[in-house]
Structure 1
Amino acid sequence: MEAHAQVVDGIASTIRGFFKSGQSYRVSHGSSNSTRPGHATTRQKVVDISKLSNVITVNKQEKIALVEPNVPMDRLVEATLEHGLVPPVVMEFPGITVGGGFSGTSGESSSFRHGFFDETVNSVEMVLGNGDVVTTSRDERPDLFHGAAGAVGTLGIVTLVELRLVEAKKLVKTTYRRVQEIPEAISEIQKQTANPSLDYIDGIVFSREHSVIITGELTNEKPAETGIRTFSNADDPWFYMHVRETTRELGPSAPTVVEYIPLGEYLFRYDRAGFWVGRQGYTYFKLIPFNKFFRWLLDDYSHTRTLYHALHAGGIAEKFVVQDLALPYDTAEYFINWVDKELGIWPLWLCPLRGGCSLPTFHPVTALHLPPKSTDEESTDSDGEEIARPPRPEVDSTRSQPMLNIGVWGWGPSDHETFVYKNRALEVTLGRLGGRKWLYAHTYYTEDEFWNEYDHRSQYQRLREKYFATKLPTVYDKVKVRPSTPDKEDGQSSSGWLKSPLNLGKWISNDVWLRTWPIGGIYGMIRATLSGDISLHRDAKWRYKRD
């Protein structure tokens, strides 16, 4: 703890200096799993907390861990598994950090039972905006503890987390249940949340006729004749493709298949291909065949750490829809139909979320309260058809209700204006259906719309003033995407320099070339290669070692 205390003292001293001089600043963590473009400028002061990346202690008797905020999920799981323990909620991507899980929103396949990641946190050490180092929990400064969860680091800097742990087991007994229709998929996943024997639940909607509900039970036993299934090796199948092929021929008479997956392999089963986003890399480059050989050859580029580097460096995030949306179960089918019609994106991910989160919050939760139906032009979809809502009761509650997370990840419209319009339409539709979105993704609300959706602006502002956080950006400042349409007449489009060689200098100086196919993608792969993250998966201790 002495080394930790020295680093925190240095951070606190830096912030104390900014506070006295009245300077604004931003925080550098050293990594990001957000798809939002950065808004930082060279004039901003930076507080670097990247050194806070250690698991301090794991207490087996008390089942807790003291962890610094920049510890990624894979290192956390490796450290706790040595003691026969595991975090109750583990984000599916190995590079997502503990601090990101608390300050952002992390709902995973165990969240139907344990809630969001921050609900498994006992306490947090924070540096306030005046340089004070404090501890906050449900009993000590509870307003700050609750307010900072999901507030994307805008109420102070998290420097240490005490995390609750649960008993780990060697394997996950995994059941794939094929269902034929979307309404059946929604009702089945909701039904499974009441099964007390389950530890993990999620689902994949491949098409209108093919959905799979995936359930997992922790176990140390398996039938002797049953093999072990892994997904982390270069010659293993991508998880989503394996699920699709395994269940393709299942029918009503035999709807399930059971496999046994080592715990670490299960927790990070979506790492290769980033669920199925990695498939779009082959779509982008066009000339690279999407087959088993090339998936093996390019495996280093299929893991989520390298995918994030490529996504940002190549400007691909500006063309890709990466959204997680949480909706009440009774409006989820309508939303899936809307996504199919307006975006045409498949597959979709389903993840049930436990209710009970205290409101208000920046988390994507609801109290089943729907706003009055609008009568303006945004009440219709792109074909002019009225957006209808299923009749639902108005409920005044201080606690969130159970919801269904729907992951929508795929190429958006190639035209920038249409891309923004579709994202805006998604936000409008989501709001009318009683849902909310994760704030890691592109957010296009106006400021008034944002605070109407996350309706505790005055309470949030009081917290910022009380804990000296007004020199940090607000949540809206951090999540708002500032879309800009390239000025084609000024030669700044990807092909504008071809029309006039005089525009070549502007084309280069404005970095438009980085967004030009295939330069952006190649540049993203180069950045991923040079990042140092490209080989981390090879030596991961959580991977199952074959005999």
Structure 2
Amino acid sequence: MVAPTGIYLTLAHFTDEEQVTSDYTGQQIYFRSIAERETDALTMHDYLWRWDTDWFWCSGAFGAQNRWLRRIWPRRWRRSDVFHRLVSYDEKIGLSRLLDRIKKVPGRERVIQDVEVPVHTLPEFLQWFDDEVGMRPVWLCPLRTTRSWPVYPLTPGDTYVNVGFWGTVEVPAGSPDGMVNRRIEQKVHQLGGHKSLYSEAFYDQETFEAMYGGQQLDAVRRRYDPEGRLSTLYEKAVRNS
């Protein structure tokens, strides 16, 4: 979704027909091509990794989508793991914070999340997200599960939509830590959804354990780690300990 009125649906299928394939590891940018082309062809390898060269669309934060800079940016360094290291380096030296001070940006928060919401609540979530957060583009990927996972309890057979959004937003000066992320967590929880735990999480412990199978994980710990030598999921996902 590039805007509330701009949503592109991509459908893929295998083919043995010989045809010219696109290469998005060079000067072309995959996420832009969706709005520019009605059909496309990629090798299986390139299809699976089509997002990687530009970290979906986040490479723009490093200037890698500028056509002049892109020409001299080594192809081997246009990869998500390189961009991730650049983010880590920036956190150490504070270049982005310096630029924000120069531009008089009062504050900034990283909002890097993937959430699942039931398909019937997707319009409400997207409207709320656009009003309250305003990040674009947004990744939408429908999914169903055929089995039940106690620690990530989606209802088998029901349709959910994975919503991915990765970037930063401006916030007022002195805003509490994780203000925007906390609001997103509350909205997703209200709509009966869940979020992946690869990024930051701010749930209180009671809510977290109710949502992510705390009782089942406690039973596993009592059996396999009775002395509590390993960190709990809450400690790792929320407290980063």
Contact 1:271/1:304 (<8 A) preserved:
yes
Contact 1:350/1:405 (<8 A) preserved:
yes
Alpha-carbon shift at residue 291 of structure 1 (Å) = 2.5
Contact 2:109/2:178 (<8 A) preserved:
no
Aligned residues: CA RMSD: 2.2
Structure 2 distance, partners of 1:291, 1:314, is 20
Task: Work out which structure has the larger RCO, using CA pairs closer than 8 Å and 6 or more positions apart in sequence.
Answer: 2
Query: Counterpart of 1:466?
Result: 223
Alignment of 1:498-513 (within 5 A): none
Residue 276 (structure 1) aligned with residue 57 (structure 2):
yes
Alignment of 1:366-405 (within 5 A): 366-367=154-155, 399=156, 401-405=158-162
Alpha-carbon shift at residue 452 of structure 1 (Å) = 2.5
Query: Counterpart of 2:104?
Result: none
Alignment of 1:340-379 (within 5 A): 340-361=130-151, 363=152, 365-367=153-155
Query: Counterpart of 1:411?
Result: 168
Structure 2 distance, partners of 1:423, 1:359, is 25
Query: Counterpart of 1:293?
Result: 68
Residues 241/228 of structure 1: CA separation in 2 closer, same or farther (3 Å cut): same
Alignment of 1:82-481 (within 5 A): 205-222=1-18, 226-232=19-25, 234-235=26-27, 237-246=28-37, 257-282=38-63, 290-298=65-73, 299-315=75-91, 319-361=109-151, 363=152, 365-367=153-155, 399=156, 401-414=158-171, 415=173, 417=175, 420-454=178-212, 456-468=213-225, 470-481=228-239
One-letter code aligned to 2:154: T
Structure 2 distance, partners of 1:265, 1:471, is 43
TM-score normalised by the chain length of structure 1? 0.38
Residues 293/300 of structure 1: CA separation in 2 closer, same or farther (3 Å cut): farther
* Deviation per residue, 1:272-316 (Å, 9 max, x gap): 11101111223xxxxxx9521212322554310101112223227
Q: Which runs of 4+ in 1 moved over 3 A?
A: 299-302
Residues 413/452 of structure 1: CA separation in 2 closer, same or farther (3 Å cut): farther
**Deviates further, 415-424 or 346-355:** 415-424
Alignment of 1:488-507 (within 5 A): none
Alpha-carbon shift at residue 229 of structure 1 (Å) = 1.1
Query: Counterpart of 1:37?
Result: none
TM-score normalised by the chain length of structure 2? 0.83
Contact 2:54/2:78 (<8 A) preserved:
yes
Gaps of 5+ in 1: 1-204, 247-256, 283-288, 368-398, 483-547
Alpha-carbon shift at residue 418 of structure 1 (Å) = 5.1
More helix per residue: 2
Query: Counterpart of 2:105?
Result: none
Alpha-carbon shift at residue 354 of structure 1 (Å) = 1.9
Residues 418/337 of structure 1: CA separation in 2 closer, same or farther (3 Å cut): farther
* Deviation per residue, 1:471-494 (Å, 9 max, x gap): 111111111157xxxxxxxxxxxx
Structure 1 distance, partners of 2:174, 2:62, is 20
Residues 441/338 of structure 1: CA separation in 2 closer, same or farther (3 Å cut): same
Q: Secondary structure at the match of 1:305?
A: helix
Query: Counterpart of 1:252?
Result: none
Equivalences, count: 222
Residues 441/471 of structure 1: CA separation in 2 closer, same or farther (3 Å cut): same
* Deviation per residue, 1:341-392 (Å, 9 max, x gap): 111100000111122231312x3x533xxxxxxxxxxxxxxxxxxxxxxxxx
Contact 1:353/1:405 (<8 A) preserved:
yes
Query: Counterpart of 2:103?
Result: none
Alpha-carbon shift at residue 450 of structure 1 (Å) = 0.9
Residues 211/433 of structure 1: CA separation in 2 closer, same or farther (3 Å cut): same
Q: Secondary structure at the match of 2:166?
A: strand
